[in-house]
Amino acid sequence: MTIKLGVPSKGRLMEKTFEWFAERGITLRRTGSEREYAGAVDGAEGVELVLLSAGEIPRELAAGRIHMGVTGSDLVRDKLADWETQVAELAPMGFGHADLIIAVPTCWADVDTLEDLDAAAHAFRAAHGFRLRIATKYHRLVREFLTREGVADYQLVDSQGATEGTVKNLTAEAIADITSSGETLRANHLKILSDGLIHQSQATLFAARAADWQGQEAALAALATQLGVAPPKL
């Protein structure tokens, strides 16, 4: 039996994850060709590396097919209902920072807050006969946030890429998306609402509650000690 560790399979997230584990004495590395999703672990007994896309890792954690995984905290919260009952958050890793925000056209001079957005949504529906459209791929997080903040008369439209362009393309009136620097928003003449921060995301190490941990208690405790994190209460 081994502890299966899911890690992003490419790009900066993979590189920074490898660095984070290396700083704690564990070497993660790809094996085979660039097209092969195979890897190896040195410096930790009983750990198997599983290379996945960051978007797949929350699903694999929830299903218990991997024991631990590294992915964005935004993805776990959006893809998993009642996420804390399905995974345990072990450690924020200090990279992959991005903010999930609500943004509207800069020409909306009178819309700066969520209260303003709510008023604009009411006016939009009265004028156009349908609800104001907010483009996003983060449906659960955005809906929960807007419900909590009392914003109504909107509809979410799905956008799996180039979300900032949906307003210009007239397929949405506002967006909810991840941003790091805000440059793409500004380039598309969008502004972040002053109270429109939904979630501050970063790469995070999670443990799966549904995974088979039987017989793995000692290995988990040793790995947690090596990583400098508290063993999860599973």
Q: What is the pLDDT of residues 14-48, one digit of tens each?
A: 999 999 999 999 999 988 766 666 789 999 989 99
Question: Measuring CA to CA, which residue among 25, 216, 5 is closest to residue 90?
Answer: 5
| 234 lies in some domain | no
Average pLDDT, the chain: 94
Using a 10 angstrom Cβ sphere, with 0-12 exposed, 13-18 middle and 19 or more buried, the burial of residue 180 is exposed
Domain of 113 in residue numbering reads as: 98-201
DSSP letter string, 17-86:
HHHHHHTTT-EEEEES-TT--EEEEESSTTEEEEEE-TTTHHHHHHHTSSSEEEEEHHHHHHHSTTGGGT
Q: Note whether 222 and 193 are same-domain residues.
A: no
CATH number at residue 84: 3.40.190.10
- Contact present, 38 and 31 (Cβ < 8 Å): yes
Max distance between CA atoms of the chain, in angstroms, equals 64
Q: Is residue 106 part of a domain?
A: yes
- With respect to residue 75, please indicate whether it lies within any of the assigned structural domains: yes
pLDDT of 34 reads: 65
Answer whether residue 109 is part of any domain.
yes
**Residues in a beta bridge with 53:** none
pLDDT digits (tens, 9 = 90+) for 119-147: 999 999 999 999 999 999 999 999 999 99
Tokens of 24: 């704690």
Pairing of strands 132-136, 174-179: parallel
* Domain contains 233: no
227: part of which helix (H) or strand (E)?
helix 217-227
For residue 105, tell me if it sits in a domain. yes
Domain co-membership, 110 together with 165: yes
> Does 74 have pLDDT greater than 70?
yes
Shared domain check, 167 and 127: yes
Q: What is the mean pLDDT of residues 61-88?
A: 97
Q: How many structural domains does the chain have?
A: 2
* Confidence (pLDDT) at 161: 85
Decide if pLDDT at 170 tops 90.
Answer: yes
Give the pairing of strands 98-105 and 190-201. antiparallel
**Residue 82: its pLDDT value, please?**
95
Q: What is the mean pLDDT of residues 99-110?
A: 97
Q: How confident is the model at residue 233 (pLDDT cuts 50, 70, 90)?
A: confident
Amino acid at 107: C
Q: Is the pLDDT of residue 77 over 80?
A: yes
pLDDT value of position 232: 84
Asked if pLDDT for residue 199 goes beyond 90, the answer is yes
Indicate whether 79 pLDDT > 80.
yes
Residue matched to tokens 């599973």? 234
